[in-house]
Amino acid sequence: MDKSFKTFLKHTAKDFHNQSVNPPVVRASTIIFKSMQDIRKTQNKYKKDPTGGHFDYGRQGTSTTHILQKILTKLENSYHVFLTPTGFGSVFLAIFSVARPGDEILAADSVYYPTRLLTKDYLKEYNIKTTFYNPHDLNSLKKNISKKTKLIFVENPGSNSFEFQDLSKIISIAKKNNIITMIDNTWGTPYFFKPIKLGFDMSIVSATKYYSGHSDVMGGSLAVNKKVFKHVEKTQKITGLRLGPDDAYLITRGLRTLDVRLDKHQENAKKVAAFLSKNRKVKLLYPYKKDSYNYKMWKKYYSGASGLMGLKIKAKNKNSVIKFVNSLKLFGYGYSWGGFESLALHQEIKVQGNRKYLKLAKDEHIVRLHIGLEDCEDLIEDLRKALKFIK
């Protein structure tokens, strides 16, 4: 990328043919050609360069999806980016591209709950074993490596509990043992952290979140290096996982302001974190406390922090925590995050997937906040009023 991240997002993918600052939405199932020779020519081009947007059928994509792939490939500093209909579709594609019966997977104990279900329960039926390691103790990763270990799945920071890991050490361990690495980088996006550049083989981002930014589209991206490209390409062809052109267009449009939005999410989140850190009932699950391990690991790898944070709330009365959440007027209640609006959720311990290394006392409760783009003073005042209900 010869321009800065910010400038690139504003000037890429202009369509001078149609005289439009954004590429057109091209919808196609059948892709038409002038002759059979023309079809064969395109197919030969694809064989020589499978990343070049040479399609002979709509399942492979259209120019609209190809443009988004090119943009994200540059942002990720990767060999190629595959697109899927949802963020979790990219998790599925990544794992199924490399895991085979008899293999073993090592996954961070703090992974997204559906990822935990996929690896621990679903893949068990295919004779693929998953072991979860402590994200803050890599000895638990090392001691579970065997000759059958095929991949290490990292989510950073951890889902809902926000553990930050020593990523370079994980990559070093994996390379010494010839193990494939993949990471869910939805929280940071390549704006704040580029996993492929660091040494990961695959990097997953739920495009539903910050890429889109407007809570009205679903999609996923899977950035890969050259080492695993063929595996993923083959699996995507077989499974038919494909992002539609309308969703691709909306994600491309959302990317234009990714930097501006993430800067503002971060600015607001830091102010909210500063306010919440003064409340003795609340422990912040966010890289804010400078002497903490999480802060040091965040600072080591990231250039910034997004708007998603967790709160560990100490309260004898669980219902008072729920009342705190329900009393928020400027925070919506709903799943997902990464849009322009603030959101809040009380997270039951069972939703964490009965984690081995997540220890909560009976009087500790987790609340997840997504800090949106509203006036930060309004958000802080809303939180101030609601916190009074915690008993």
- pLDDT tens series, the chain, 391 aa: 667 889 988 888 877 777 788 888 999 999 999 999 999 999 999 999 999 999 998 899 999 999 999 999 999 999 999 999 999 999 999 999 999 999 999 999 999 999 999 999 999 999 999 999 999 999 999 999 999 999 999 999 999 999 999 999 999 999 999 999 999 999 999 999 999 999 999 999 999 999 999 999 999 999 999 999 999 999 999 999 999 999 999 999 999 999 999 999 999 999 999 999 999 999 999 999 898 999 999 999 999 999 999 999 999 999 999 999 999 999 999 999 999 999 999 998 777 778 889 888 889 999 999 999 999 999 999 999 999 999 9
Same domain, yes or no: 248 and 303: no
| Of the residues 237, 255, 273, the one at which a domain ends | 255
Same domain, yes or no: 120 and 230: yes
The reported pLDDT for the residue numbered 326 is: 97
The reported pLDDT for the residue numbered 144 is: 97
| Of the residues 226, 255, 284, the one at which a domain ends | 255
The reported pLDDT for the residue numbered 149 is: 98
Place of tokens 């057109």: 24
Same domain, yes or no: 269 and 348: yes
How distant, in Å, are the alpha carbons of 50, 58, 70, 170 from that of 18?
A: 26, 22, 19, 47
The reported pLDDT for the residue numbered 1 is: 62
Same domain, yes or no: 206 and 306: no
| Of the residues 229, 255, 281, the one at which a domain ends | 255
What is the extent of the structural domain holding 44?
5-255
23 contact partners, CB below 8 Å, separation of at least 6:
13, 14, 15, 63, 64, 67, 249, 252
If one counts the domains in the chain, the total is 2
**CATH number of the domain within which 357 lies:** 3.90.1150.10
